[in-house]
Structures are given as structure tokens and as C-alpha cells.
């Protein structure tokens, strides 16, 4: 379980996150929705310290990291949290000069310090999960965007993080490729992995989420299970957002 408390993050004078509190349950899928600029990516990046919060706390297992301007986080703590999180980006971010299999093996060898044979076995096993074993010797540019994103997910999973973070995993894809990536994420949700997903795909959000967070102007202004949030919320800002998306 991940818990964040009173997270704040500013860029210059602009407060991108303001007093953000949330709990991400183990084995559950949380979806973060909200309009452009509401702070979704910033929150996700704070969870694996690609951005370091100005204030607040991040807790996982028995560990609590406390942030403040005065107190500088130790590098080993930062690396520890990063190791526990896997990030899937909009633009896949595969290594272009490595094959599909090598892309997955790389982190297993360098981060997990496992030998080449074990890395290869893990790579194949994770490619099987996303249905791409037959593509293992290709380079990223020889794959469709949907296939590249599935490789990126396999690569993230192979490092056995406590939580997988996705920042708009399908928004760079042609519409006909979105479904195959969403299906992989839905299948993973059933395996008991913890996932946090920023997405504009509302139908997918309703289907996959155990819990939904709605962000507006740097704050979480509503949250609940999909049915509560999408069908029964009285929050005017959420209603306005959903209306805008639906039309």
C-alpha cells in the first residue's frame, strides 16, 4: 500500500499540486482523471520521484519519506522508491538500438544484477504475458505503436515493481491500436499487481478501476469507485469535466 500525505509541488510561483492526499491499495488499480494541466502527470512523477515534492510524505510498507525544502532526501531512499515503481510513458521510451528482448533484459541485468540466462528467461516470460514472444528479435521501429507499448509494459513488469505507473499509455496511439494496450492492462489488473493509471479513456477507466481519483487545479477534488464517481457524484467540477469529455 502506498499513501501520500499533504503533497505539494510548485514550479516557480505556480502550485501544480496542493495538499494532495491519497491511498493506493495493494493489488488494486487506481485511475486518475482530470483536465489538462490539473496535475495528473506531476502527481505520478512525484510517486517515483522523477519530481521531488516540496512538502508532504510518501509512505510504503514500513517506510515513510518526508519532504520539505530544508530537508534533502538521501539518494539511496530515492533509488529505493524508484526501484519499487515502474513507469510506463505515453511515448513508450524503448531503447531504439536494442531488440525487444534486449530492451527487457537490460534492466534485469543492470538493476536486478541477474545473470544473462535468468534475464533471458524473465524476458521471454514477460513477452508471453503481453503476447509478443514472436517479435522478440525485432527493433522498436519495426513494431507498431501498440506493440511497442506492450513491450514497455513487459519491461516494466519484468523488474517486479510494487506498483506500475502509467501516464496516458494510449494517447500516442492510432485509435485502432488503443484496444490491444488497454486489454493488456486489464489482464494485468486481474493478476493482483498494483497499478496507477492516468488516462483520458473514460470507458476503460470505468471498466478497469477499483478506485478513481478526479483532479482539478492541483487537487484531488473527488474520489470513489467508478460507479460512485461516474454516475452518482454531485461534485460540480467533476460533472462539468465529464460533460465536456462526453461532448
Ligand X SMILES: Nc1ncnc2c1ncn2[C@@H]1O[C@H](COP(=O)(O)OP(=O)(O)OP(=O)(O)O)[C@@H](O)[C@H]1O
Can you tell me the distance from the alpha carbon of 215 to that of 237, in angstroms, rounded to the nearest whole number?
A: 9
As to burial, measured by CB atoms within 10 angstroms (0-12 exposed, 13-18 middle, 19+ buried), residue 231 is exposed
* Region of 13-21, 39-47, 79-87, 221-229 interacting with Mg ion (CB under 5 A): 39-47
Based on the shown chain and the rule CB under 5 A, indicate whether residue 41 belongs to the binding site for Mg ion.
Answer: yes
Q: Which residues bind ligand X (CB under 6 A)?
A: 11, 16, 34, 36-42
* Region of 38-46, 76-84, 199-207, 231-239 interacting with Mg ion (CB under 5 A): 38-46
And the C-alpha cell for 83? 526501484
Report the candidate in 165, 187, 188, 2 with the shortest Cα–Cα distance to residue 86. Answer: 165
Identify which of residues 39 and 156 has a Cβ nearer to Mg ion in the complex.
Answer: 39
Q: Please report how close the Cβ of residue 143 comes to ligand X at its closest, in angstroms.
A: 25
Identify which of residues 32 and 163 has a Cβ nearer to ligand X in the complex.
Answer: 32
Identify which of residues 38 and 120 has a Cβ nearer to ligand X in the complex.
Answer: 38
List Cα–Cα distances, 136 to 24, 70, 147, 192, in angstroms: 33, 47, 11, 26
Identify which of residues 41 and 103 has a Cβ nearer to Mg ion in the complex.
Answer: 41
And the C-alpha cell for 229? 464517481
The footprint of Mg ion (CB under 5 A) covers 41
Amino acid at each position: 500500500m502506498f499513501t501520500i500525505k499533504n503533497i505539494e509541488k510548485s514550479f516557480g510561483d505556480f502550485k501544480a499540486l496542493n495538499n494532495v492526499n491519497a491511498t493506493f491499495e495493494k493489488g488494486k488499480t487506481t485511475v486518475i482523471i482530470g483536465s489538462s494541466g490539473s496535475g495528473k502527470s506531476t502527481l505520478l512523477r512525484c510517486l517515483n520521484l522523477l519530481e521531488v515534492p516540496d512538502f508532504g510524505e510518501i509512505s510504503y510498507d514500513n517506510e515513510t519519506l518526508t519532504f520539505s525544502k530544508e530537508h534533502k532526501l538521501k539518494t539511496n531512499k530515492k533509488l529505493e522508491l524508484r526501484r519499487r515503481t515502474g513507469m510506463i510513458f505515453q511515448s513508450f521510451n524503448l531503447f531504439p538500438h536494442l531488440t525487444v528482448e534486449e530492451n527487457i533484459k537490460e534492466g534485469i541485468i543492470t538493476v536486478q544484477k541477474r545473470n544473462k540466462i535468468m534475464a533471458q528467461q524473465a524476458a521471454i516470460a514477460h513477452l508471453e504475458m503481453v503476447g509478443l514472444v514472436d517479435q522478440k528479435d525485432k527493433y522498436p521501429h519495426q513494431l507498431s505503436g501498440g506493440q511497442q507499448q506492450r513491450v514497455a509494459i513487459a519491461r516494466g513488469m519484468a523488474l517486479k515493481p510494487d506498483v506500475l505507473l502509467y501516464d496516458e499509455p494510449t494517447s500516442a496511439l492510432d485509435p485502432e491500436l488503443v484496444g490491444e494496450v488497454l486489454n493488456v492492462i486489464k489482464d494485468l489488473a486481474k493478476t493482483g499487481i498494483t497499478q496507477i493509471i492516468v488516462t483520458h479513456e473514460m470507458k476503460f477507466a470505468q471498466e478497469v478501476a477499483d478506485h478513481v481519483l478526479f483532479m482539478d487545479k492541483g487537487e484531488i477534488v473527488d474520489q470513489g469507485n467508478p460507479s460512485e464517481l461516474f454516475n452518482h457524484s454531485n461534485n460540480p467540477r467533476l460533472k462539468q469535466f465529464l460533460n465536456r469529455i462526453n461532448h
